Amino acid sequence: MSLDLPFDNSYARLPDRFYTKLAPTPVRAPALVALNQSLALTLGLDPDALASEAGVAALAGNAIPGGAEPLAQVYAGHQFGGWSPQLGDGRAILLGEVVTPEGARFDVQLKGSGPTPYSRMGDGRAWLGPVMREYIVSEAMAALGVPTTRALAAVTTGDIVLREGPLPGAVFTRIASSHIRVGTFQFFAARQDTDALKALTGHAIERHDPGANGALGLLEGVIARQAGLIAQWMGLGFIHGVMNTDNMTISGETIDYGPCAFMDVYHPMRVFSSIDHHGRYAFGRQPDVAMWNLAQLASALLPLIGEVEPAQAAIDRFPELFRAEWLRVFRAKIGLQTEAEGDEALIHRLLDAMANGQADFTNSFRALGTPGARDQFMDRNAFDAWEREWRDRLSAEESSPEDRLDAMRQVNPGLIPRTHRIEQAIQAGVAGDYGPFHRLNAALATPFADPGPYADLMTPPTQDEVVPQTFCGT
Ligand code: AMP
Ligand code: MG
């Protein structure tokens, strides 16, 4: 019995030069680590069929499900500012697209499924650690209400992957509303392949901006989505870590959870990635980097837009769009329902006090309005001074303190996937114990609820537990 999925593969119908058709490379002994039941149901897939032997074989790349047309997508990109004219799915294979009962279209992609023509020096494989990290963090992001690719499944392969040493191999099944990146447009623009640009633009509009007026309309749509997305990241203390143009989607979903992290102690210039030596993708730089990436998209689309001016105008609007989204996010975090002149400065003074007071980003916002808030700050007097200003500002609000606290708890999570917890879950997983991994996923499914039995997961790392850097998924 082989697995059948309701595929309808629109990307595979694009011209040949968009991809290379090839099958995943089989692995030795597939075993299921996790299957996302609720996501499977949302997609209209049968969780039991996916968890069956035939299902797991498909999730490991050992069998091609009926209706799939496996392919590796080609793209280009700016990596840390340097131009790479050809990247592509070097360790990923798109099986196809499923359309949900509600009519939404999603890519089903295997990551870690073997070499492709775009693998360059890589082996096309993934090891268990990054697969578990992407599973945890992408599902946590979804539960936090942030647009993101999703985790359908993780399987181990029974094969060894060589990195710093021998590590267990794994394959991740990623769901995305598409895998079209800024770098996909750049690939064809750099080759002056206007026909391909037109086809890609039409395809992207159909999937992400139905009704948009041509390439300019698409550009404006991407800009708006990215402004909203980055503002949400900033509101959660999330650092993507590798905001290369090949890691920025047209859909506006967060993609490629490599050396990403949620900050514990707040600092605006925090960097995690072990390869980001100059802090290009530091927390506070993310809005500027997004705008830079979007300018690369605008350049790629110029042959279709025709004139520079409207494309430039669209890019120039990014800062104000971002600022509006950022204010919306942070006003809600400090319990404001109305808008006043000094709100932005008030929010920045809180962030300054947090940076100076080495406050935990997540726990400080979660505690606002309760007596425990000041304990998050090394300099409690600085917080007290800010709190007096905040109370003054709140006197202009009509909501009751109880309703306000409730509303704040809907936007200030108690639970985020803290890096040290992810590392502990990975270490246990590598040793064969997936208990901590499943517990973390269960806790993070309701990040705004009272943590109840998961209160220990709110605690910042001890000195010994701090993970100073995060690494790429390779
Ligand atoms: P990333 O940093 O994950 O966005 O990957 C950047 C590029 O390197 C992409 O084109 C990937 O497909 C490729 N890549 C990363 N890891 C591997 C690997 N283990 N084997 C082959 N290609 C890889
Ligand atoms: Mg990538």
User: How distant, in Å, are the alpha carbons of 96, 338, 446 from that of 246?
Assistant: 20, 38, 31
Q: Name the helix (H) or strand (E) containing 82.
A: strand 82-84
Distance CA 9, CA 18 (A): 13
Distance CA 221, CA 281 (A): 23
Kindly give the distance from the C-alpha atom of residue 256 to the centroid of ligand 2, in angstroms, as a whole number: 5
Q: State residue 472's pLDDT score.
A: 58
> What's the count of helices (H) and strands (E) in the chain, helices before strands?
16, 12
Q: State residue 469's pLDDT score.
A: 77
Contact predicate 250/343, CB 8 Å: no
Contact predicate 170/157, CB 8 Å: yes
Kindly give the distance from the C-alpha atom of residue 56 to the centroid of ligand 1, in angstroms, as a whole number: 24
Q: Which tokens in the block code for residue 48? A: 């039991």
Q: State residue 474's pLDDT score.
A: 56
Q: State residue 473's pLDDT score.
A: 56
Q: State residue 1's pLDDT score.
A: 59
72: alpha, beta or left? (left if phi > 0; alpha if psi -120 to 50): beta
Q: Which tokens in the block code for residue 397? A: 């609000």
Contact predicate 239/137, CB 8 Å: no
Distance CA 239, CA 227 (A): 15
Distance CA 159, CA 144 (A): 34
**Is the beta carbon of 472 within 6 A of some atom in ligand 1?**
yes
Tell me the sheet residues that pair with 181: 249
DSSP H helices in 246-342: 286-305, 308-316, 318-333
Q: Which ligand is nearest to the CA of 130?
A: 1
**Helix, coil or strand: residue 345:** helix
Question: Global pTM?
Answer: 0.98
* Mean pLDDT (10-residue bins), the chain, 474 residues: 86 98 98 98 97 98 97 98 97 97 96 98 97 98 99 98 96 98 98 98 98 97 98 98 98 96 96 89 98 98 98 98 98 98 98 98 98 97 98 96 97 98 98 98 98 97 86 60
Atom in ligand 1 nearest the alpha carbon of residue 112:
19
**Is the beta carbon of 243 within 6 A of some atom in ligand 1?**
no
Q: State residue 419's pLDDT score.
A: 97
Atom in ligand 1 nearest the alpha carbon of residue 124:
20
Distance CA 421, CA 371 (A): 27
| Residues whose CB is less than 8 angstroms from the CB of residue 295 and which lie 6 or more positions away in sequence, other chains included | 315
**Helix, coil or strand: residue 54:** helix
Q: Choose the catalytic residue: 89, 107, 209, 246.
A: 246
